[in-house]
Amino acid sequence: MTTPAGFGPPIPPPSPYGTPPQAPYGALPVPYGSPAPVPYGGPAVVPYGAPVGGGPEFVAHDRRNSVIVDPAGVSLEVNGHTLDFPWAGVAAVHAAPAPYGHVLMVAVRHPGGTLYECRIDARRGARLRQWLAELGPVLGHYLAHRA
């Protein structure tokens, strides 16, 4: 890094990937991961398949894995890898205690038949029973209209 004539902060070297795209004049920067802003006076845009309004949520996690069920769909995190399933792409969700220990097994089935599974260690039987009692009504709320 060099400084112009010894004044000011150092100038970083040019990026080997080129310059990042610039926002149009007058546009405010949007932080990564936030939804795109709705144009002034324009209609609110709802993604296809996303339920309108709020709904019940369920969250269960251990040190490595987690399950989140909310109005957007089902998210499974397995050893740092996140799988997001919007409700439009979910045929069924299965939840059951494992035959060993205090483990909650949650599986998401796609309409094509592919099955994705996540196992969460509850550490205690009471927590496992609580998760099963909470998860059932939440799944019933979102999957009630399916046969």
pLDDT of residue 101: 85
> How far is it between the farthest Cα atoms of the chain?
73
The type of residue at 16 is: P
* Domain 58-143, CATH number (from 1.20.1630.10, 2.30.29.30, 3.40.50.2020, 3.30.390.50): 2.30.29.30
The rounded Cα 63 to chain-centroid distance in angstroms is 17
pLDDT tens digit string along 40-97?
444 444 444 444 457 899 999 999 999 999 999 999 999 999 999 999 889 999 999 9
**Model's pTM, two decimal places?**
0.63
Instruction: Name the residue ranges covered by the structural domains of the chain.
Output: 58-143
CA distance 120 to 64: 8
